[in-house]
Chains A and B, each alone.
Chain A
Amino acid sequence: KAGVTQTPRYLIKTRGQQVTLSCSPISGHRSVSWYQQTPGQGLQFLFEYFSETQRNKGNFPGRFSGRQFSNSRSEMNVSTLELGDSALYLCASSLVYHTDTQYFGPGTRLTVL
């Protein structure tokens, strides 16, 4: 089976812009989770989607949003970018539950200037 794919792999934006990241889970996986990883804060959970519904949410402001499509593919959006949003954004899929084994994509490196 193909692994989790994320696009784009690298992105450079300026403050105030918005960005959309895409994630395609492993075929058959219905849960998709997003994480933000920074040197200072480590790996932080953003949200989880299952059957097109947000099932879990971390402690991030409303500027961070996401959605899941009927084929389980997911997108996350960050509006009004801030310098502190520069990070590696990781997507992971699992069979059913968020606490099942997570299969991670390679990540999208976002740099906000």
Chain B
Amino acid sequence: SQQGEEDPQALSIQEGENATMNCSYKTSINNLQWYRQNSGRGLVHLILIRSNEREKHSGRLRVTLDTSKKSSSLLITASRAADTASYFCATGGEAQKLVFGQGTRLTINP
């Protein structure tokens, strides 16, 4: 299975600090995506990084991809209370299936 696995499972930080989440996967991919989910709601797409890209930015988000280590990281800078959510990585491979990991639950404390 090429299922992504997020690490840590849960993360609690103070508002204003940076949050880093990691995702590891097992097989080759075409792209890797990060999504956010607020409690009990649908997922919101954050960023997509292709296998030939190493880093991508979007506002306060920075995603890196290391295909040699089969891993990705999501960095959220200057965290806010509104960033409290679960974050999922999803890997898209040659089988044309998008596989989601178990997620990291991020809590931002005021």
Contacts and interface: CB of A to CB of B under 8 A. Distances in A.
Interface string A5-21: 00000000000000000
A105 B44 CA distance: 9
A105 B42 contact: yes
Contacts of A64: none
Contact of A106 (B33, B41, B97, B103): B41
A99 interface: yes
B41 A102 contact: no
Nearest to B46: A101
Contacts, number: 57
A102 B43 contact: yes
B56 interface: no
A98 B98 contact: yes
B99 interface: yes
B4 to A, nearest CB: 11
Interface string B68-110: 0000000000000000000010101100111111110000000
A42 B103 contact: yes
B59 interface: no
B40 to A, nearest CB: 7
Interface string B41-67: 111110010000000000000000000
Contact of A42 (B35, B93, B102): B102
Nearest to B99: A45
A76 interface: no
Interface of B: 30-31, 33, 35, 40-45, 48, 88, 90, 92-93, 96-103
